[in-house]
Chain A
Amino acid sequence: MRRRVIPGFGLALGTTVLYLGAIVLLPLCALLLKASGIGLAEFWEILSSPRTLSAIRVTVTMAFAATIFNAIYGLLLAWVLARYRFPGKRLLDALVDVPFALPTAVAGLALTALFAKNGWFGAPLDKIGIAVAYTPLGIAIAMAFTSIPFVVRTVQPVIEDLGSEVEEAGRSLGANDFQILWKIIFPAIFPAFLAGCSLSFARSLGEFGAVIFIAGNQPMKTEIVALLTYIRLEEYNYQAAAAISTIMLLMAFAMLIVTNAVQAWHLRYVGRGEV
Protein backbone atom coordinates (compact mmCIF):
# COMPACT_ATOMS: atom_id res chain seq x y z
CA MET A 1 0.00 0.00 0.00
CA ARG A 2 1.18 3.47 -0.92
CA ARG A 3 2.42 5.69 1.90
CA ARG A 4 -0.18 8.30 2.74
CA VAL A 5 1.01 11.83 2.14
CA ILE A 6 -2.25 13.59 2.98
CA PRO A 7 -3.05 13.60 6.70
CA GLY A 8 -6.45 13.13 8.26
CA PHE A 9 -7.19 9.62 7.04
CA GLY A 10 -8.16 8.32 10.46
CA LEU A 11 -10.45 11.23 11.25
CA ALA A 12 -12.20 11.19 7.85
CA LEU A 13 -12.66 7.42 7.76
CA GLY A 14 -13.73 7.36 11.40
CA THR A 15 -16.36 10.06 10.88
CA THR A 16 -17.71 8.39 7.75
CA VAL A 17 -17.93 4.92 9.22
CA LEU A 18 -19.37 6.12 12.52
CA TYR A 19 -22.04 8.19 10.79
CA LEU A 20 -22.99 5.42 8.36
CA GLY A 21 -23.06 2.99 11.24
CA ALA A 22 -25.40 5.10 13.34
CA ILE A 23 -27.67 6.47 10.63
CA VAL A 24 -27.78 3.70 8.03
CA LEU A 25 -26.52 0.38 9.36
CA LEU A 26 -28.01 0.43 12.86
CA PRO A 27 -31.63 0.74 11.68
CA LEU A 28 -31.17 -1.83 8.92
CA CYS A 29 -29.61 -4.28 11.39
CA ALA A 30 -32.43 -3.64 13.85
CA LEU A 31 -34.93 -4.44 11.11
CA LEU A 32 -33.17 -7.67 10.16
CA LEU A 33 -32.85 -8.60 13.82
CA LYS A 34 -36.56 -8.11 14.32
CA ALA A 35 -37.32 -10.16 11.23
CA SER A 36 -34.98 -12.95 12.29
CA GLY A 37 -36.94 -13.29 15.53
CA ILE A 38 -40.15 -14.09 13.72
CA GLY A 39 -39.58 -17.72 12.90
CA LEU A 40 -39.60 -19.24 9.46
CA ALA A 41 -43.10 -20.69 9.55
CA GLU A 42 -44.69 -17.45 10.66
CA PHE A 43 -42.57 -15.45 8.22
CA TRP A 44 -43.82 -17.67 5.41
CA GLU A 45 -47.39 -17.33 6.61
CA ILE A 46 -47.17 -13.52 6.49
CA LEU A 47 -45.65 -13.53 3.03
CA SER A 48 -47.92 -16.12 1.51
CA SER A 49 -51.09 -14.49 2.73
CA PRO A 50 -53.28 -13.53 -0.25
CA ARG A 51 -53.15 -9.84 0.63
CA THR A 52 -49.34 -9.72 0.76
CA LEU A 53 -49.01 -11.71 -2.45
CA SER A 54 -51.49 -9.45 -4.18
CA ALA A 55 -49.61 -6.34 -3.02
CA ILE A 56 -46.32 -7.78 -4.28
CA ARG A 57 -47.90 -8.71 -7.61
CA VAL A 58 -49.46 -5.26 -8.09
CA THR A 59 -46.22 -3.49 -7.13
CA VAL A 60 -43.92 -5.56 -9.35
CA THR A 61 -46.28 -5.57 -12.36
CA MET A 62 -46.89 -1.83 -12.26
CA ALA A 63 -43.21 -1.05 -11.62
CA PHE A 64 -42.46 -3.12 -14.71
CA ALA A 65 -45.08 -1.28 -16.76
CA ALA A 66 -43.73 2.08 -15.56
CA THR A 67 -40.20 1.02 -16.50
CA ILE A 68 -41.29 0.02 -20.02
CA PHE A 69 -42.89 3.43 -20.50
CA ASN A 70 -39.82 5.18 -19.11
CA ALA A 71 -37.54 3.10 -21.30
CA ILE A 72 -39.23 4.37 -24.46
CA TYR A 73 -40.00 7.93 -23.42
CA GLY A 74 -36.70 8.31 -21.56
CA LEU A 75 -34.65 7.08 -24.51
CA LEU A 76 -36.42 9.48 -26.90
CA LEU A 77 -36.03 12.34 -24.42
CA ALA A 78 -32.31 11.62 -23.98
CA TRP A 79 -31.90 11.38 -27.76
CA VAL A 80 -33.64 14.70 -28.37
CA LEU A 81 -31.59 16.43 -25.66
CA ALA A 82 -28.30 14.99 -26.86
CA ARG A 83 -28.70 15.25 -30.63
CA TYR A 84 -31.11 17.98 -31.62
CA ARG A 85 -30.82 21.72 -31.36
CA PHE A 86 -34.07 23.60 -30.96
CA PRO A 87 -35.44 26.61 -29.12
CA GLY A 88 -36.41 25.75 -25.55
CA LYS A 89 -33.91 22.93 -25.24
CA ARG A 90 -32.53 24.27 -21.95
CA LEU A 91 -36.04 24.41 -20.56
CA LEU A 92 -36.72 20.81 -21.61
CA ASP A 93 -33.43 19.75 -20.03
CA ALA A 94 -34.40 21.49 -16.78
CA LEU A 95 -37.87 19.91 -16.83
CA VAL A 96 -36.34 16.43 -16.70
CA ASP A 97 -35.31 17.18 -13.11
CA VAL A 98 -38.84 18.08 -12.01
CA PRO A 99 -39.71 14.57 -10.71
CA PHE A 100 -36.53 14.53 -8.57
CA ALA A 101 -37.08 17.98 -7.13
CA LEU A 102 -40.85 17.80 -6.66
CA PRO A 103 -41.90 16.07 -3.41
CA THR A 104 -43.59 12.75 -4.12
CA ALA A 105 -46.68 13.72 -2.11
CA VAL A 106 -47.07 16.81 -4.27
CA ALA A 107 -46.63 14.75 -7.42
CA GLY A 108 -49.21 12.27 -6.15
CA LEU A 109 -51.71 15.01 -5.36
CA ALA A 110 -51.25 16.63 -8.79
CA LEU A 111 -51.45 13.36 -10.74
CA THR A 112 -54.59 12.34 -8.86
CA ALA A 113 -56.27 15.66 -9.66
CA LEU A 114 -55.19 15.38 -13.31
CA PHE A 115 -56.50 11.85 -13.77
CA ALA A 116 -59.59 11.98 -11.54
CA LYS A 117 -62.88 11.56 -13.42
CA ASN A 118 -63.37 15.34 -13.50
CA GLY A 119 -59.67 16.15 -14.08
CA TRP A 120 -58.00 17.65 -17.14
CA PHE A 121 -56.98 14.22 -18.45
CA GLY A 122 -59.40 12.09 -16.47
CA ALA A 123 -62.53 13.59 -18.05
CA PRO A 124 -61.65 12.90 -21.71
CA LEU A 125 -60.21 9.49 -20.81
CA ASP A 126 -63.40 8.65 -18.94
CA LYS A 127 -65.41 9.40 -22.09
CA ILE A 128 -63.55 6.67 -23.97
CA GLY A 129 -63.92 4.32 -21.03
CA ILE A 130 -60.43 4.47 -19.52
CA ALA A 131 -60.17 4.95 -15.77
CA VAL A 132 -56.76 5.90 -14.43
CA ALA A 133 -57.20 7.27 -10.91
CA TYR A 134 -57.84 4.57 -8.31
CA THR A 135 -56.79 1.80 -10.73
CA PRO A 136 -53.50 -0.06 -11.28
CA LEU A 137 -52.89 2.16 -14.32
CA GLY A 138 -52.72 5.16 -11.98
CA ILE A 139 -50.08 3.36 -9.90
CA ALA A 140 -47.97 2.80 -13.01
CA ILE A 141 -48.28 6.46 -14.03
CA ALA A 142 -47.21 7.69 -10.59
CA MET A 143 -44.25 5.29 -10.60
CA ALA A 144 -43.24 6.37 -14.11
CA PHE A 145 -43.39 10.04 -13.13
CA THR A 146 -41.14 9.69 -10.10
CA SER A 147 -38.50 7.61 -11.87
CA ILE A 148 -38.23 9.03 -15.41
CA PRO A 149 -35.06 11.10 -14.73
CA PHE A 150 -33.08 7.91 -14.01
CA VAL A 151 -33.33 6.70 -17.62
CA VAL A 152 -32.73 10.12 -19.20
CA ARG A 153 -29.77 11.10 -17.01
CA THR A 154 -28.01 7.75 -17.45
CA VAL A 155 -28.43 7.56 -21.23
CA GLN A 156 -28.08 11.25 -22.20
CA PRO A 157 -24.32 11.63 -21.47
CA VAL A 158 -23.54 8.40 -23.34
CA ILE A 159 -25.34 9.58 -26.48
CA GLU A 160 -23.53 12.93 -26.16
CA ASP A 161 -20.18 11.13 -25.94
CA LEU A 162 -20.78 9.05 -29.07
CA GLY A 163 -18.40 10.36 -31.68
CA SER A 164 -19.66 10.97 -35.19
CA GLU A 165 -16.77 8.88 -36.58
CA VAL A 166 -18.40 5.49 -36.10
CA GLU A 167 -21.59 6.78 -37.62
CA GLU A 168 -19.76 8.19 -40.63
CA ALA A 169 -17.76 5.00 -41.00
CA GLY A 170 -20.97 3.01 -41.01
CA ARG A 171 -22.47 5.32 -43.58
CA SER A 172 -19.41 5.13 -45.83
CA LEU A 173 -19.74 1.34 -45.75
CA GLY A 174 -23.25 1.77 -47.09
CA ALA A 175 -25.34 1.27 -43.96
CA ASN A 176 -28.70 3.00 -43.86
CA ASP A 177 -30.09 4.95 -40.92
CA PHE A 178 -31.80 1.95 -39.41
CA GLN A 179 -28.72 -0.25 -39.66
CA ILE A 180 -26.54 2.43 -38.05
CA LEU A 181 -29.05 2.90 -35.28
CA TRP A 182 -29.45 -0.80 -34.62
CA LYS A 183 -25.87 -2.02 -35.14
CA ILE A 184 -23.76 0.94 -34.01
CA ILE A 185 -25.63 3.35 -31.80
CA PHE A 186 -27.90 1.05 -29.83
CA PRO A 187 -25.17 -1.41 -28.76
CA ALA A 188 -23.08 1.53 -27.55
CA ILE A 189 -25.81 2.97 -25.37
CA PHE A 190 -27.40 -0.33 -24.33
CA PRO A 191 -25.50 -0.88 -21.04
CA ALA A 192 -26.30 2.64 -19.85
CA PHE A 193 -29.87 2.23 -21.00
CA LEU A 194 -30.21 -1.00 -19.04
CA ALA A 195 -28.65 0.60 -15.96
CA GLY A 196 -31.10 3.50 -16.18
CA CYS A 197 -34.03 1.12 -16.55
CA SER A 198 -33.00 -0.96 -13.54
CA LEU A 199 -32.66 2.21 -11.44
CA SER A 200 -36.11 3.26 -12.59
CA PHE A 201 -37.54 -0.16 -11.72
CA ALA A 202 -35.90 -0.19 -8.28
CA ARG A 203 -37.22 3.25 -7.46
CA SER A 204 -40.71 2.27 -8.62
CA LEU A 205 -40.77 -0.77 -6.33
CA GLY A 206 -40.30 1.41 -3.25
CA GLU A 207 -42.31 4.48 -4.23
CA PHE A 208 -44.92 5.46 -1.65
CA GLY A 209 -45.90 9.13 -1.61
CA ALA A 210 -46.85 9.57 -5.24
CA VAL A 211 -48.62 6.20 -5.50
CA ILE A 212 -50.88 6.22 -2.45
CA PHE A 213 -52.71 9.35 -3.58
CA ILE A 214 -53.67 7.98 -6.98
CA ALA A 215 -53.94 4.26 -6.19
CA GLY A 216 -57.21 4.23 -4.26
CA ASN A 217 -55.51 1.70 -1.98
CA GLN A 218 -58.07 -1.10 -2.19
CA PRO A 219 -56.75 -4.33 -0.64
CA MET A 220 -56.26 -7.11 -3.20
CA LYS A 221 -56.68 -4.62 -6.05
CA THR A 222 -54.63 -1.45 -5.86
CA GLU A 223 -52.63 -1.88 -2.67
CA ILE A 224 -48.84 -1.64 -3.01
CA VAL A 225 -46.29 -3.33 -0.76
CA ALA A 226 -45.09 -0.08 0.84
CA LEU A 227 -48.65 0.80 1.84
CA LEU A 228 -49.34 -2.65 3.24
CA THR A 229 -46.25 -2.26 5.46
CA TYR A 230 -47.58 1.07 6.65
CA ILE A 231 -51.03 -0.40 7.38
CA ARG A 232 -49.53 -3.29 9.38
CA LEU A 233 -47.65 -0.75 11.50
CA GLU A 234 -50.81 1.19 12.19
CA GLU A 235 -52.42 -2.07 13.30
CA TYR A 236 -49.47 -2.56 15.66
CA ASN A 237 -48.71 -5.78 13.78
CA TYR A 238 -44.96 -5.22 14.02
CA GLN A 239 -44.05 -8.76 12.96
CA ALA A 240 -45.86 -8.43 9.66
CA ALA A 241 -44.37 -4.96 9.09
CA ALA A 242 -40.90 -6.32 9.79
CA ALA A 243 -41.39 -9.33 7.49
CA ILE A 244 -42.71 -7.26 4.58
CA SER A 245 -40.03 -4.58 5.05
CA THR A 246 -37.37 -7.28 5.00
CA ILE A 247 -38.68 -8.54 1.68
CA MET A 248 -38.62 -4.99 0.30
CA LEU A 249 -35.08 -4.58 1.60
CA LEU A 250 -33.99 -7.83 -0.07
CA MET A 251 -35.60 -6.72 -3.35
CA ALA A 252 -33.68 -3.43 -3.07
CA PHE A 253 -30.43 -5.32 -2.50
CA ALA A 254 -31.12 -7.57 -5.47
CA MET A 255 -31.78 -4.54 -7.69
CA LEU A 256 -28.64 -2.87 -6.34
CA ILE A 257 -26.55 -5.87 -7.32
CA VAL A 258 -28.14 -5.99 -10.79
CA THR A 259 -27.63 -2.24 -11.31
CA ASN A 260 -24.02 -2.36 -10.14
CA ALA A 261 -23.27 -5.33 -12.40
CA VAL A 262 -24.82 -3.53 -15.37
CA GLN A 263 -22.98 -0.33 -14.54
CA ALA A 264 -19.64 -2.13 -14.21
CA TRP A 265 -20.31 -3.71 -17.59
CA HIS A 266 -21.20 -0.29 -18.97
CA LEU A 267 -17.96 1.24 -17.65
CA ARG A 268 -15.91 -1.55 -19.21
CA TYR A 269 -17.83 -1.10 -22.44
CA VAL A 270 -17.01 2.57 -22.80
CA GLY A 271 -13.46 2.03 -21.55
CA ARG A 272 -13.67 4.26 -18.54
CA GLY A 273 -13.32 1.52 -15.96
CA GLU A 274 -10.62 3.22 -13.88
CA VAL A 275 -12.85 3.85 -10.86
Chain B
Amino acid sequence: MSLASERDSEQAEWMQHPVGGGKVTRRVVLWSVLVLTALFLVAPLVLIVTSGLSLGVGAFVRNLSEPTTLHAILLTLLTAVVVVPINILFGLAAAWTVTKFDFRGKTLLIALIELPYSISPIVAGVAYLFVYGSQGLFGPLLEALGLKVMFALPAIFLASLFVTAPFVARELIPLMQVQGTDEEEAAVTLGAGGFTTFWRVTLPNVKWAVVYGAILCNARVMGEFGAVSVVSGNIRGQTTTLPLQIELLYQDYNVAGAFAAATVLTAVALVTILIKVTLERTGKTSSAGPGH
Protein backbone atom coordinates (compact mmCIF):
# COMPACT_ATOMS: atom_id res chain seq x y z
CA MET B 1 0.00 0.00 0.00
CA SER B 2 1.42 3.40 -0.92
CA LEU B 3 1.91 6.10 1.65
CA ALA B 4 -0.68 8.36 0.01
CA SER B 5 -3.46 5.80 0.04
CA GLU B 6 -2.61 4.87 3.62
CA ARG B 7 -3.06 8.52 4.59
CA ASP B 8 -6.34 8.61 2.68
CA SER B 9 -7.68 5.62 4.53
CA GLU B 10 -6.64 7.16 7.84
CA GLN B 11 -8.44 10.35 6.84
CA ALA B 12 -11.54 8.33 6.02
CA GLU B 13 -11.24 6.67 9.39
CA TRP B 14 -11.42 10.05 11.18
CA MET B 15 -14.54 10.90 9.27
CA GLN B 16 -16.12 7.59 10.16
CA HIS B 17 -15.06 7.61 13.78
CA PRO B 18 -15.87 10.96 15.33
CA VAL B 19 -15.68 11.38 19.11
CA GLY B 20 -18.36 9.32 20.77
CA GLY B 21 -18.83 7.41 17.53
CA GLY B 22 -17.31 4.18 18.81
CA LYS B 23 -19.72 1.28 18.80
CA VAL B 24 -19.81 0.76 22.57
CA THR B 25 -19.83 4.45 23.54
CA ARG B 26 -22.56 5.14 21.04
CA ARG B 27 -24.68 2.30 22.28
CA VAL B 28 -24.29 3.22 25.96
CA VAL B 29 -24.98 6.93 25.44
CA LEU B 30 -27.90 6.41 23.07
CA TRP B 31 -29.61 3.80 25.21
CA SER B 32 -29.20 5.69 28.46
CA VAL B 33 -30.77 8.75 26.81
CA LEU B 34 -33.60 6.71 25.32
CA VAL B 35 -34.37 4.96 28.61
CA LEU B 36 -34.25 8.21 30.60
CA THR B 37 -36.52 9.89 28.05
CA ALA B 38 -39.00 7.04 28.15
CA LEU B 39 -39.14 7.26 31.96
CA PHE B 40 -39.00 11.02 32.25
CA LEU B 41 -40.88 12.45 29.26
CA VAL B 42 -42.97 9.65 27.77
CA ALA B 43 -44.29 7.94 30.92
CA PRO B 44 -46.20 11.04 32.16
CA LEU B 45 -47.93 11.39 28.78
CA VAL B 46 -48.89 7.72 28.67
CA LEU B 47 -50.12 7.88 32.26
CA ILE B 48 -52.38 10.88 31.59
CA VAL B 49 -54.01 9.37 28.54
CA THR B 50 -54.45 5.89 30.03
CA SER B 51 -55.80 7.33 33.31
CA GLY B 52 -58.10 9.71 31.46
CA LEU B 53 -59.55 6.91 29.37
CA SER B 54 -59.23 4.10 31.94
CA LEU B 55 -62.95 4.00 32.69
CA GLY B 56 -63.88 4.01 29.03
CA VAL B 57 -64.81 6.66 26.52
CA GLY B 58 -68.31 7.01 27.97
CA ALA B 59 -67.00 7.94 31.42
CA PHE B 60 -64.44 10.24 29.81
CA VAL B 61 -67.15 12.15 27.94
CA ARG B 62 -69.37 12.24 31.06
CA ASN B 63 -66.47 13.66 33.09
CA LEU B 64 -65.85 16.36 30.53
CA SER B 65 -69.50 17.29 30.24
CA GLU B 66 -69.82 18.02 33.98
CA PRO B 67 -71.16 21.61 34.01
CA THR B 68 -68.16 23.11 35.85
CA THR B 69 -65.63 21.29 33.64
CA LEU B 70 -67.54 22.27 30.50
CA HIS B 71 -67.57 25.86 31.72
CA ALA B 72 -63.82 25.67 32.36
CA ILE B 73 -63.23 24.40 28.82
CA LEU B 74 -65.27 27.25 27.34
CA LEU B 75 -63.52 29.82 29.54
CA THR B 76 -60.13 28.48 28.49
CA LEU B 77 -61.09 28.71 24.81
CA LEU B 78 -62.43 32.23 25.30
CA THR B 79 -59.18 33.31 26.98
CA ALA B 80 -57.16 31.92 24.07
CA VAL B 81 -59.41 33.66 21.54
CA VAL B 82 -58.88 37.01 23.30
CA VAL B 83 -55.20 36.72 24.25
CA VAL B 84 -53.54 35.06 21.24
CA PRO B 85 -54.55 37.65 18.59
CA ILE B 86 -53.50 40.55 20.85
CA ASN B 87 -50.10 39.01 21.44
CA ILE B 88 -49.66 38.27 17.73
CA LEU B 89 -50.21 41.97 17.02
CA PHE B 90 -47.86 42.94 19.84
CA GLY B 91 -45.23 40.44 18.65
CA LEU B 92 -45.36 41.86 15.12
CA ALA B 93 -45.13 45.46 16.33
CA ALA B 94 -42.30 44.65 18.73
CA ALA B 95 -40.30 42.64 16.19
CA TRP B 96 -40.85 45.27 13.48
CA THR B 97 -39.64 47.99 15.87
CA VAL B 98 -36.43 46.33 17.01
CA THR B 99 -35.40 44.75 13.70
CA LYS B 100 -36.24 47.40 11.11
CA PHE B 101 -35.06 50.49 12.95
CA ASP B 102 -32.02 51.73 14.86
CA PHE B 103 -32.67 53.77 17.93
CA ARG B 104 -31.31 54.46 21.35
CA GLY B 105 -32.41 52.04 24.05
CA LYS B 106 -33.05 49.18 21.64
CA THR B 107 -31.18 46.66 23.79
CA LEU B 108 -33.23 47.73 26.77
CA LEU B 109 -36.45 47.33 24.79
CA ILE B 110 -35.47 43.80 23.70
CA ALA B 111 -34.71 42.90 27.32
CA LEU B 112 -38.09 44.31 28.34
CA ILE B 113 -39.88 42.27 25.67
CA GLU B 114 -38.35 39.08 27.06
CA LEU B 115 -38.82 40.04 30.71
CA PRO B 116 -42.10 38.16 31.37
CA TYR B 117 -40.36 35.00 30.31
CA SER B 118 -38.06 35.05 33.33
CA ILE B 119 -40.58 36.14 35.94
CA SER B 120 -42.42 33.54 37.98
CA PRO B 121 -46.11 33.43 37.02
CA ILE B 122 -46.95 33.73 40.71
CA VAL B 123 -45.10 37.04 40.89
CA ALA B 124 -46.99 38.21 37.80
CA GLY B 125 -50.28 37.35 39.46
CA VAL B 126 -49.35 39.12 42.70
CA ALA B 127 -48.18 42.16 40.74
CA TYR B 128 -51.56 42.42 39.00
CA LEU B 129 -53.29 42.23 42.35
CA PHE B 130 -51.45 45.38 43.38
CA VAL B 131 -52.74 47.21 40.31
CA TYR B 132 -56.40 46.20 40.11
CA GLY B 133 -57.11 44.59 43.49
CA SER B 134 -58.87 46.39 46.30
CA GLN B 135 -55.43 46.95 47.87
CA GLY B 136 -53.99 48.10 44.54
CA LEU B 137 -53.26 51.32 42.68
CA PHE B 138 -56.51 51.47 40.72
CA GLY B 139 -58.58 49.34 43.10
CA PRO B 140 -60.50 52.17 44.83
CA LEU B 141 -61.14 53.92 41.50
CA LEU B 142 -62.44 50.74 39.86
CA GLU B 143 -64.63 50.07 42.87
CA ALA B 144 -66.09 53.56 42.71
CA LEU B 145 -66.87 53.02 39.03
CA GLY B 146 -68.41 49.64 39.80
CA LEU B 147 -65.93 47.79 37.56
CA LYS B 148 -64.67 44.37 38.54
CA VAL B 149 -61.29 43.42 37.14
CA MET B 150 -59.73 41.25 39.82
CA PHE B 151 -61.15 37.76 40.40
CA ALA B 152 -63.05 38.10 37.12
CA LEU B 153 -62.52 37.60 33.41
CA PRO B 154 -60.45 40.76 32.74
CA ALA B 155 -57.82 39.69 35.27
CA ILE B 156 -57.55 36.24 33.66
CA PHE B 157 -57.03 37.91 30.26
CA LEU B 158 -54.46 40.37 31.63
CA ALA B 159 -52.42 37.74 33.48
CA SER B 160 -52.45 35.54 30.37
CA LEU B 161 -51.32 38.49 28.23
CA PHE B 162 -48.42 39.06 30.63
CA VAL B 163 -47.07 35.52 30.67
CA THR B 164 -47.30 35.03 26.89
CA ALA B 165 -46.28 38.51 25.72
CA PRO B 166 -42.83 37.40 24.47
CA PHE B 167 -43.90 34.26 22.59
CA VAL B 168 -44.53 35.64 19.08
CA ALA B 169 -41.84 38.32 19.33
CA ARG B 170 -39.23 35.75 20.34
CA GLU B 171 -39.86 33.72 17.19
CA LEU B 172 -39.89 36.78 14.94
CA ILE B 173 -36.94 38.82 16.18
CA PRO B 174 -34.09 36.41 15.26
CA LEU B 175 -35.67 35.65 11.89
CA MET B 176 -36.31 39.28 10.97
CA GLN B 177 -32.83 40.22 12.14
CA VAL B 178 -31.35 37.75 9.66
CA GLN B 179 -33.61 39.02 6.88
CA GLY B 180 -32.48 42.61 7.36
CA THR B 181 -34.18 45.65 5.85
CA ASP B 182 -33.16 45.49 2.17
CA GLU B 183 -36.48 44.25 0.82
CA GLU B 184 -38.48 46.77 2.83
CA GLU B 185 -36.20 49.60 1.72
CA ALA B 186 -36.59 48.53 -1.90
CA ALA B 187 -40.39 48.47 -1.52
CA VAL B 188 -40.42 51.94 0.03
CA THR B 189 -38.12 53.29 -2.66
CA LEU B 190 -40.55 51.97 -5.24
CA GLY B 191 -43.28 54.02 -3.58
CA ALA B 192 -45.00 51.55 -1.24
CA GLY B 193 -46.43 52.93 1.99
CA GLY B 194 -45.62 51.61 5.44
CA PHE B 195 -48.62 49.33 5.69
CA THR B 196 -48.26 47.97 2.15
CA THR B 197 -44.59 47.26 2.79
CA PHE B 198 -45.43 45.40 5.97
CA TRP B 199 -48.34 43.48 4.45
CA ARG B 200 -46.81 42.60 1.07
CA VAL B 201 -43.11 42.30 1.91
CA THR B 202 -42.44 41.62 5.60
CA LEU B 203 -45.40 39.45 6.57
CA PRO B 204 -45.05 36.86 3.75
CA ASN B 205 -41.43 36.38 4.80
CA VAL B 206 -42.25 35.63 8.40
CA LYS B 207 -45.75 34.13 8.27
CA TRP B 208 -44.65 30.66 9.38
CA ALA B 209 -42.79 32.06 12.34
CA VAL B 210 -45.96 33.97 13.26
CA VAL B 211 -47.97 30.76 13.07
CA TYR B 212 -45.37 28.96 15.17
CA GLY B 213 -45.26 31.70 17.79
CA ALA B 214 -49.05 31.79 17.88
CA ILE B 215 -49.45 28.06 18.54
CA LEU B 216 -46.85 28.20 21.33
CA CYS B 217 -48.65 31.24 22.77
CA ASN B 218 -51.95 29.40 22.53
CA ALA B 219 -50.60 26.31 24.31
CA ARG B 220 -49.26 28.44 27.14
CA VAL B 221 -52.47 30.50 27.48
CA MET B 222 -54.58 27.36 27.69
CA GLY B 223 -52.20 25.78 30.20
CA GLU B 224 -51.26 28.76 32.37
CA PHE B 225 -51.78 27.92 36.01
CA GLY B 226 -49.81 30.05 38.48
CA ALA B 227 -50.62 33.56 37.30
CA VAL B 228 -54.25 32.74 36.58
CA SER B 229 -54.77 30.99 39.91
CA VAL B 230 -53.70 34.15 41.77
CA VAL B 231 -55.88 36.58 39.82
CA SER B 232 -58.93 34.46 39.01
CA GLY B 233 -60.14 33.98 42.56
CA ASN B 234 -60.83 30.35 41.67
CA ILE B 235 -64.60 30.75 41.82
CA ARG B 236 -65.98 27.32 40.95
CA GLY B 237 -67.85 27.26 37.66
CA GLN B 238 -67.18 30.96 37.10
CA THR B 239 -63.48 31.82 36.95
CA THR B 240 -61.82 28.43 36.79
CA THR B 241 -59.93 27.76 33.60
CA LEU B 242 -59.16 24.17 32.67
CA PRO B 243 -55.82 23.91 34.56
CA LEU B 244 -57.48 25.33 37.70
CA GLN B 245 -60.37 22.93 37.26
CA ILE B 246 -57.85 20.06 37.24
CA GLU B 247 -56.59 21.14 40.65
CA LEU B 248 -60.11 21.56 42.05
CA LEU B 249 -61.15 18.11 40.85
CA TYR B 250 -57.96 16.62 42.23
CA GLN B 251 -58.55 18.22 45.63
CA ASP B 252 -62.09 16.81 45.57
CA TYR B 253 -60.55 13.34 45.07
CA ASN B 254 -62.22 13.23 41.66
CA VAL B 255 -59.06 11.82 40.08
CA ALA B 256 -60.85 10.45 37.01
CA GLY B 257 -62.32 13.88 36.33
CA ALA B 258 -58.94 15.55 36.82
CA PHE B 259 -57.29 13.15 34.39
CA ALA B 260 -60.08 13.58 31.83
CA ALA B 261 -59.49 17.35 31.91
CA ALA B 262 -55.73 16.75 31.79
CA THR B 263 -56.19 14.56 28.70
CA VAL B 264 -57.78 17.49 26.86
CA LEU B 265 -54.85 19.77 27.67
CA THR B 266 -52.39 17.01 26.78
CA ALA B 267 -54.08 16.72 23.39
CA VAL B 268 -53.60 20.47 22.90
CA ALA B 269 -49.91 20.07 23.79
CA LEU B 270 -49.41 17.16 21.39
CA VAL B 271 -51.14 19.01 18.55
CA THR B 272 -48.90 22.01 19.28
CA ILE B 273 -45.80 19.83 18.97
CA LEU B 274 -47.16 18.19 15.83
CA ILE B 275 -47.71 21.57 14.16
CA LYS B 276 -44.23 22.63 15.23
CA VAL B 277 -42.64 19.53 13.70
CA THR B 278 -44.66 19.96 10.49
CA LEU B 279 -43.63 23.61 10.17
CA GLU B 280 -39.99 22.68 10.73
CA ARG B 281 -40.15 19.91 8.17
CA THR B 282 -41.43 22.29 5.54
CA GLY B 283 -38.33 24.25 6.50
CA LYS B 284 -40.18 27.51 6.61
CA THR B 285 -39.53 28.55 10.18
CA SER B 286 -35.84 28.74 9.29
CA SER B 287 -33.63 29.48 12.28
CA ALA B 288 -36.40 30.63 14.56
CA GLY B 289 -36.53 27.57 16.77
CA PRO B 290 -37.15 27.69 20.49
CA GLY B 291 -34.35 28.82 22.73
CA HIS B 292 -33.04 31.36 20.23
Binding site for B on A (CB under 8 A): 1-2, 4-9, 11-13, 15-17, 19-20, 23-28, 30-31, 33-34, 73, 76-77, 79-80, 83-84, 86, 90, 92-107, 109-111, 113-114, 120-121, 144-145, 148-150, 153-154, 157, 164, 167-168, 171-172, 177, 180-181, 185, 196, 202, 205-209, 213, 226, 229-230, 233, 238, 241-242, 245, 248-249, 252, 255-256, 259-260, 275
Contacts and interface: CB of A to CB of B under 8 A. Distances in A.
B132 to A, nearest CB: 9
A28 B137 CA distance: 12
Size class of the contact patch on chain B:
35 or more
Classify the secondary structure of B's interface with A: helix
Contacts of A27: 124, 127-128, 130-131, 162
Given A249-B119, A252-B120, A238 B135 contact: yes
Contacts of A23: 158, 161-162, 165
B143 interface: no
B253 interface: no
B48 A171 contact: no
A180 B19 contact: yes
Given A109-B246, A153-B291, A238-B135, 14 more contacts: A1-B102, A20-B94, A23-B158, A23-B161, A27-B124, A27-B127, A98-B45, A98-B269, A110-B262, A177-B20, A209-B226, A226-B120, A229-B126, A260-B111
Contact of A80 (B30, B41, B121, B127): B30
B181 A226 contact: no
A246 B23 CA distance: 52
28 contacts: A6-B185, A6-B188, A6-B197, A7-B194, A8-B195, A15-B90, A20-B113, A23-B158, A76-B33, A77-B36, A80-B33, A84-B26, A94-B276, A94-B277, A98-B273, A101-B268, A102-B45, A103-B225, A105-B262, A106-B48, A106-B266, A110-B45, A121-B39, A148-B40, A171-B14, A177-B19, A242-B126, A248-B122
A103 to B, nearest CB: 3
Contacts of A256: 111, 115, 118
Contacts of A16: 90, 93-94, 97-98, 109, 113
Interface string B189-225: 1000111011000000000000000001001001111
A23 B89 CA distance: 14
